[in-house]
């Protein structure tokens, strides 16, 4: 049995049941009030007519919850039926493909770069889109194209080294190390390069090296970043060192 359908049926049954219970309690209280009222009437014929009239109203009042229940049921089933592929709602699989919005940005960026191959902003946006989509080889190629246009820049080299690192399954190959050296020569506290080196060191248990890279990064006054997060990372690495020294 479809689990979703069963869940909806249970929820609807509880809701409609509570609604009818409430209405029944209300009708019992109303009938009790009617009986008390008729007992106060002194004329027998008038009392009998009043009682019969009120009993008719009480019986007729059940039409309202009945129609409400039917309306709720039809409305819920209509929404459920129009929900698309509801039978397979619990059979979903992870979509490993690039997000369609990101894919659209990549396609748009490619078109713009083809039309304007020396547009610095278009090249940068495309390289970042490639990296966000895990297309690191394409990101490296695009950053290389951008560097050829604007010349060597520490930030661009740092981004290029980062994409190379992830392209090569988190390894520093000689080509990547060369790019890192060129970036740090231009700016010793470059954000992307120091973050890359610190992260790799931390993940490999080299906490002293990670702390050194993060502290050098804190001297950077030209690139914006969250300094508190870097301080927290340093504290975490220091805690790891303390644990190892015990």
* Domain at 181, CATH number: 1.25.40.10
Which residues form the domain of 146?
A: 100-245
Residue with tokens 């009437």: 41
- CA 37 distance to own-chain centroid: 61
| Tokens matching residue 204 | 């490999």
Q: What is the mean pLDDT of residues 56-64?
A: 52
For residues 126 and 230, membership in a common domain is answered with yes
What mean pLDDT value characterizes the chain?
80
- Tell me whether residue 114 is in a domain: yes
Same domain flag for 56 and 111: no
Place of tokens 């060191």: 201
Are 187 and 84 in the same domain? no
User: What percent of the chain has pLDDT above 90?
Assistant: 55
What is the per-residue pLDDT for 240?
92
- The dihedrals phi and psi of 145, each to the nearest 5 degrees, come to -65, -40
108 and 143 co-located in one domain: yes
The DSSP code for 62 is T
- Which of these, 39, 72, 35, lies nearest to 54 by C-alpha position? 35
CA distance 209 to 54: 88
Shared domain check, 63 and 114: no
Q: Is residue 231 part of a domain?
A: yes
Mean per-residue pLDDT, 88-104: 60
pLDDT band at 98 (very low <50, low <70, confident <90, very high): low
Of residues 220 and 8, more confidently modeled: 220
Using pLDDT thresholds of 50, 70 and 90, give the confidence band for residue 54: very low
pTM for the whole thing? 0.60
Helix axes 120-132, 136-150, angle to 10 degrees: 160
Per the structure, the count of domains in the chain is 2
Give, in degrees to the nearest 5, the angle at Cα 216 between 134 and 222: 75
Q: Is the pLDDT of residue 50 over 70?
A: no
The C-alpha atoms of residue 130 and residue 137 are separated, in whole angstroms, by: 8
- For residues 3-28, give the mean pLDDT: 67
Residue 207 inside a domain? The answer is yes
Task: Give the tens place of pLDDT for each residue, 209-232.
Answer: 999 999 999 999 999 999 999 999
CA dist 155 and 157 (Å) reads 5
- Both 193 and 130 in one domain: the answer is yes
Q: What distance in Å separates the CA atoms of residue 224 and residue 169, rounded to the nearest whole number?
A: 28
Query: 28 and 123, same structural domain?
Result: no
Question: In the predicted model, what is the mean pLDDT of residues 140-146?
Answer: 97
| End position of a domain, from candidates 67, 88, 109 | 88
Mean pLDDT of 110-116: 94
Looking at the fold, whether 84 and 130 belong to one and the same domain comes out as no
pLDDT at position 246: 80
What whole-number distance in Å separates Cα of residue 116 and Cα of residue 123?
Answer: 9
pLDDT in the model for residue 52? 46
In a domain, 94, yes or no: no
Average pLDDT estimate for 186-202: 97
């Amino acid at each position: 049995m479809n689990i979703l359908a069963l869940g909806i049926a249970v929820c609807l049954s509880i809701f409609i049941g509570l609604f009818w219970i409430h209405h029944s309690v209300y009708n019992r209280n109303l009938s009790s009030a009617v009986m008390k009222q008729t007992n106060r009437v002194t004329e027998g014929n008038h009392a009998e007519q009043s009682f019969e009239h009120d009993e008719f109203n009480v019986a007729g009042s059940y039409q309202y919850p009945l129609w409400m229940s039917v309306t709720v049921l039809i409305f819920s089933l209509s929404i459920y039926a129009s929900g698309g592929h509801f039978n397979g709602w619990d059979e979903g699989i992870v979509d490993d493909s690039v997000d369609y919005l990101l894919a659209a940005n990549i396609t748009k960026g490619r078109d713009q770069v083809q039309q304007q191959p020396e547009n610095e902003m278009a090249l940068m946006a495309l390289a970042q889109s490639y990296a966000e989509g895990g297309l690191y080889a394409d990101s490296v190629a695009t950053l290389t194209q951008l560097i050829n246009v604007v010349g060597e820049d520490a930030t661009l080299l740092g981004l290029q080294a980062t994409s190379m690192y992830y392209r090569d399954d988190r390894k520093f190959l000689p080509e990547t190390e060369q790019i890192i050296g060129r970036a740090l020569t231009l700016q010793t506290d470059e954000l992307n390069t120091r973050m890359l080196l610190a992260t790799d060191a931390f993940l490999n248990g080299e906490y002293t090296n990670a702390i050194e890279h993060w502290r050098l990064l804190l001297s950077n006054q030209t690139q914006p970043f969250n300094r508190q997060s870097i301080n927290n990372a340093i504290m975490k690495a220091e805690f790891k060192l303390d644990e190892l020294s015990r």
